[in-house]
Amino acid sequence: MNVIESIGIHKTYTETAVPVHALRGVDLTVTEGEFTAIVGPSGSGKSTLLNIIGGLDQPSEGSIRVGGTDITHMKDSELIDFRLQNIGFVFQSYNLIPVLTAKENVAFIMLLQKKSKEEREERAMHLLKALGLEGRENNRPKELSGGQQQRVAVARALASKPKFILADEPTANLDSSSTANLLDIMAKMNQEEKITFVFSTHDQRVIDRAKRVVTLEDGVIKSDVSQEKISI
């Protein structure tokens, strides 16, 4: 089943004196259970593509379907709800809510989904445990290491039971050990629970673990390579 279908995506920023063509006709299909890395040099259009796939930005041309739903022309309020129900986000700088504990950060997404308190508590604890954060549930982000914070961010992304997780440079701020640990966890979830991951990354360690590597250059896909099965 196709989780993401982007057809002829163009994105041109016209706010600048000279229009910037960030994407020039990107066709990308991601199926369920993929572990895909989108790579490319700075300015290649990775983040723009991720933003469009994640419903945070709209293409200038082309269409985007997520889980069979065309989100190309969705209204802002519809997109917010769509993102909440269908897409999990992991950001480069963790982006946890600093005033909430790890557990509260994870439960917060489910609160937005209007899940019951019992379900929120249970799933938050389950995810934190699965991500090796047992005993850290009552710590606030500033009391956690970068790797731990990013694992909380992954738990938060998983909490809403999304169709896929978009991770924008998730390991950029992590050391080698934390990166390896995070990739192990995500790969395990991909393998065992068939969760679809789409990364944008510069990090060779992430690229090495991806099942599929899509390379963008100057807003077009230069290569789309499937790799060996990832190791857990």
Summarize as ranges the residues that interact with other proteins (CB under 8 A): 51, 54, 56-57, 76-77, 80-81, 83-85, 89, 91, 93, 95, 97-100, 104, 107-109, 111-113, 156, 160
Say whether 123 sits in a helix, a strand or coil.
helix
Q: What minimum distance in Å lies between the beta carbon of 175 and other proteins?
A: 22
According to DSSP, the residues that pair with 216 across neighbouring strands are: 221
Dihedral, CA atoms, 198, 204, 206, 207, nearest 10 degrees?
50
Q: What minimum distance in Å lies between the beta carbon of 160 and other proteins?
A: 7
Of 124, 4, 138, 133, which Cα lies nearest the Cα of 59?
4
Cβ proximity to other proteins, 112 vs 172, nearer residue: 112
Cβ proximity to other proteins, 89 vs 199, nearer residue: 89
Q: What minimum distance in Å lies between the beta carbon of 227 and other proteins?
A: 29
State the helix-helix crossing angle for 146-159 and 117-130, rounded to 10 degrees. 140
**Integer Cα distance of 50 and 198 in angstroms:** 8
Cβ proximity to other proteins, 91 vs 125, nearer residue: 91
Cβ proximity to other proteins, 7 vs 56, nearer residue: 56
Cβ proximity to other proteins, 112 vs 230, nearer residue: 112
State the helix-helix crossing angle for 102-112 and 146-159, rounded to 10 degrees. 20
Q: What minimum distance in Å lies between the beta carbon of 228 and other proteins?
A: 33
What would the two tokens of residue 165 be?
């997780």
What would the two tokens of residue 10 be?
């163009």
Q: What minimum distance in Å lies between the beta carbon of 71 and other proteins?
A: 14
25 close to 10: Cβ distance less than 8 angstroms: yes
Q: Where does 91-184 show beta strands of DSSP type E? A: 164-168
